Amino acid sequence: MVAATAVGRFYGVGLGPGDPGLITLKAARVIGDADVIAYHAGVNKRSYARGIAAHLIPDDVIEEELRYPVTTGTTDHPGGYAGALADFYEQSAARLANHLDAGRTVALLTEGDPLFYGSFMYMHDRLSGAYPTEVIPGLPAFVAATAATASPLVRQTDVLTVLPGTLPEAELARRLADTDAAIIMKLGRRTFPAVRRALAAAGRLPHAVYVERASHAEQRWLPVADVDEASVPYLSLIVVNGDSLNGRRSRAVVTPADETRSETGELLVIGLGPGPRDWLTPEATAALDDVDHVVGYAPYIARVPQREGLQRHASGNTVELDRARFALDLALRGEKVAVVSGGDAGVFGMAAAVFEAAVDPRYADVPIRVLPGVSAVQAVAARAGAPIGADFAVVSLSDRLKPWPVIEARLRAVAEADLVLAIYNPASRSRPDQIAVARKILLAHRPGDTVVVIGRDVGRAEESLQVTTLDDMDTDTIDMKCLVLVGASTTRLTSSGRVWTPRWVR
């Protein structure tokens, strides 16, 4: 009887950024002991990874070159670029699996670190579940880049963000403005112009350094502003040093700078609408283009386009008064400030918090102006038809700022008054059952066939709208992303499923 051959071991070997002297001792040992050395190569190019480790590869070892069929988005593959790469990874994994099944040790070489934007990950996804796998870490390229420029990247409480240069320009600008230090990877002639514009919009261009082929013999670095965009290779990146090094203040909610202007600035409170850019009013757009600071809950700040000179101050979800006082302090010093809210700022938004904070006599001279936005109840109602065409009430189920018995009393009053009811904040992780309790209260005063509309992420790509009844609504599927509309006795459904409430009452 012939014994079965044990499967081989699969290694992902990080080689560092390019200098063979930066290969770790463990990586060198694995390469020298492997039965098979595998490496990726670009179209019509020699493998960069193999070149780094060439002096360590034994003469009698089996080599597997995994050559990409395409390195840009242009291909005649029926599945497009993504389909071509998916097939390539499947075929490459099958080639390596043949060696592993034969009991051979396979070392797949990768520049930098195998799990940091590395091609090894696609083989790891396909092989690690079936074969013993070990990852040998390597120095990522940005570590060599900061060493080459001798420029400290982050210190003290600086936050570092690693970004791909392939992000949409507006998104890249926003993220650059929201962090202290940044590394931008995946550059090239196609992406570099947009990356440079994003750096300028975020006010980060003066401190951005371009590094090409870090640690390699052909390494060079220079200010991003001076780079010829037509000559940017893939093996390049950008380093943006942390704010504490550059003398810039953090974008977190902290005490505003001590500098003052000669007169008090105006504080705007702006509703951004439920999400889509098209639902932002022209008045709000013009105001955001004119302010120097935007203050708000981080997900809402993320929806404000970044531009040069705009400072962003993001904070968490339960610090509304701190956020309002911070904005008022900025305005008191003469800054142009906007506090932003999703939907309409006056509907469970920041407008009330700003006026509550402004009761302090220190802010008596700060003018406050509220700019309306499309509210979530309007957005969901419009998608459903016209369910709030008659009298309606709006209630939040959040009991963070008011006791639950008050909410119950209001629900009963609305139900007894036979008003259409819009429910904000219907459920969360900390209070998942309140919407079920609210449903029971409503059923005590409304028939089970009362029309209910559940809107989730209305206006966004994940949007869904469900029309059901009080009897049939599944409260377990409702969370903070939902707004619930409960009809009155007069609310009706059209033959096509549209919901409307007559303006008249018989």
Q: What residue spans define the domains of the chain?
A: 10-138, 142-246, 267-371, 377-500
When pLDDT is averaged across residues 6-26 and rounded to a whole number, the result is: 95
Q: Of 76-85, 153-162, 242-251, 459-468, which gets the smallest average pLDDT? A: 242-251
Pairing of strands 492-493, 499-500: antiparallel
- Cα first-last separation, the chain: 92
User: What CATH number matches the domain at 142-246, 3.30.950.10, 3.30.420.40, 3.90.650.10, 1.20.120.160?
Assistant: 3.30.950.10
Both tokens of residue 137?
């870490």
When pLDDT is averaged across residues 424-435 and rounded to a whole number, the result is: 91
Question: Is the pLDDT assigned to residue 120 strictly greater than 70?
Answer: yes
The arrangement of secondary structure in 10-138, i.e. its CATH architecture, is: 3-Layer(aba) Sandwich (3.40)
Helices 80-101 and 120-127, packing angle to 10 deg = 60
Residues 41, 66 contacting (CB under 8 angstroms): yes
Look at residue 258 in the predicted model and tell me its pLDDT. Answer: 44
Question: Is the pLDDT assigned to residue 252 strictly greater than 80?
Answer: no
How many CA atoms lie within 13 Å of 146's alpha carbon, on the beta-carbon side?
A: 18
pLDDT tens per residue across span 291-321: 999 999 988 998 999 988 899 998 887 789 9
DSSP bridge pairs for 210:
222, 238
Q: Of 114-128, 257-271, 438-452, 476-490, which gets the smallest average pLDDT? A: 257-271
Both tokens of residue 342?
């999703």
User: Does domain 377-500 sit in CATH 3.30.950.10?
Assistant: yes
Question: Is the pLDDT assigned to residue 281 strictly greater than 60?
Answer: yes
Pairing of strands 337-341, 368-371: unpaired
Q: Which residue has the higher pLDDT, 231 or 445?
A: 445
Domain 142-246 and domain 377-500, same fold? Reply is yes
Both tokens of residue 439?
């449903």
When pLDDT is averaged across residues 237-246 and rounded to a whole number, the result is: 79
Chain mean pLDDT for the chain: 91
Share of the chain above pLDDT 90, in %: 76
Token pair 């969360």 is found at 428
What single-letter amino acid sits at 132?
P
pLDDT tens per residue across span 138-155: 999 999 999 998 888 998
When pLDDT is averaged across residues 207-213 and rounded to a whole number, the result is: 93
User: What CATH number matches the domain at 267-371, 3.30.70.270, 3.40.1010.10, 1.20.140.10, 3.40.720.10?
Assistant: 3.40.1010.10
When pLDDT is averaged across residues 211-230 and rounded to a whole number, the result is: 91
